[in-house]
Amino acid sequence: MEQRRAAITAIGHFLPEERLTNADLEKLVDTSDEWIRTRTGIRERRILRDPDKATSYMASKAAKELLQKRNLDPSEIDLVIVATVTPDMFFPATACIVAAEIGAVNAWAYDISAACSGFLFALSTGTRFIESGKHEKVLVIGADKMSTIVDYSDRTTCVLFGDGAACALLEPDSSGHGIMDSIEHSDGSQWSSLCMLGGGSLNPSSPVTLEKKWHYLHQEGQPVFKAAVKGMADVAADLVERNGLTGDDIRYLVPHQANLRIIDATARRMGITMEKVMLNIERYGNTTAATIPLCLADWESELRRGDNIVLAAFGGGFTWGASWLRWAYDGTSAA
Ligand code: ACO
């Protein structure tokens, strides 16, 4: 009998209806559709405009879709983990609000903050609870309402981000499928190149933090770009090498969707062609913790039991990592 692993057995997702196109952004800042497409690969992103609806709303919608697809009673969920940098509030954790909203009355719940690597870090954490035998059903959600921390007068960041949420159910598998291996890294020495300075215990909210626009995301594009290209390509290559995999063995690379050029560099380093790369950055932009599960949602119907899938991400912190999955089910008909 194979060892007990954690396998993804269902996917759910939610995207707001409203589209913010490059043409819309041309009216807000000094930019062009051509600049955005050639530098990032993005054409449009989704925006949750309703001020009364926060990250927990999108996360709950995604979770409810998953529960419905699997015909699952929410009281069976043991643990809810939400990866986000845009929680509804500092506390309580957004995961607690989501668990209550979806009826996961027997679950404990908490958030993970690892920016664009959030889903991978949450997946790795959830995996340990399944592998150890402590839990049978863990819900891992990546959700971000980035439009609430983006400055729509800053052309260097406002073109990049969008809103969205998606989630995965983890259950035990003893047939050689599921999450086979993962590598996670962080390095806080360059934290200031990608951060939100205001509102925390370092710079509590004040007229000064408001005036300095410290409640918006701040990014130094070039250093982040360089670190992301190296970090994501290296960690994905390390993971496949240490497991004796080659580009031919991999069915899909699922990269964090921050920039098409970073994704291209990662794919080349792994020796895989772009047809094997899940890409939806064009339609959704960078939805931070949601990009990877949103790709899985978009490609779910094409995935087959036994497919080798590599997930890879890089984000603020810095944080970065990769996971190798042997996919556990065919198409959308989960176990
Ligand atoms: N439209 C037109 N011009 C622009 C825009 C824009 N939207 N944004 C920047 N420019 C200008 C700049 O002002 C600069 O002009 P200058 O030369 O006159 O000063 C010029 O374009 C070049 O700017 P760069 O920042 O050097 O452009 P670059 O090619 O690096 O692209 C980008 C910027 C897309 C942000 C890139 O650096 C990038 O993708 N960085 C990494 C993003 C990332 O991976 N983040 C991690 C995940 S996010 C998270 O964790 C929350």
Q: Please tell me the pTM assigned to this model.
A: 0.97
38 CA from centroid of ligand 1 (Å) = 11
In short, whether 236's Cβ falls inside 6 Å of ligand 1 is no
Per-residue pLDDT band for 285 (boundaries 50, 70, 90) equals: very high
pLDDT tens-digit readout, 167-207? 999 999 999 999 999 999 999 999 999 999 999 999 999 99
DSSP label at residue 300:
G
In short, whether 38's Cβ falls inside 6 Å of ligand 1 is no
- The answer to whether 277 touches 309, Cβ cutoff 8 Å, is no
Region of 220 on the Ramachandran plot (φ > 0 left; ψ -120 to 50 alpha; else beta): beta
Task: Tell me the C-alpha distance between 167 and 3, whole Å.
Answer: 25
Q: What is the pLDDT of residue 332?
A: 80
In short, whether 22's Cβ falls inside 6 Å of ligand 1 is no
Query: What is the rounded average pLDDT of the residues 22-38?
Result: 97
In what order do the strands lie in the sheet containing 178-186? 178-186, 319-326, 308-315, 252-255
Atom 30 (ligand 1): residue with closest C-alpha? 222
- Please determine, for residue 145, whether its predicted confidence score (pLDDT) is greater than 70: yes
All structural domains of the chain: 5-175 (3.40.47.10), 180-326 (3.40.47.10)
Atom 19 (ligand 1): residue with closest C-alpha? 156
Atom 26 (ligand 1): residue with closest C-alpha? 222
- Please determine, for residue 236, whether its predicted confidence score (pLDDT) is greater than 60: yes
Ligand 1, atom nearest to 316 Cα: 50
Task: Tell me the C-alpha distance between 270 and 131, whole Å.
Answer: 28
Q: What is the pLDDT of residue 2?
A: 81
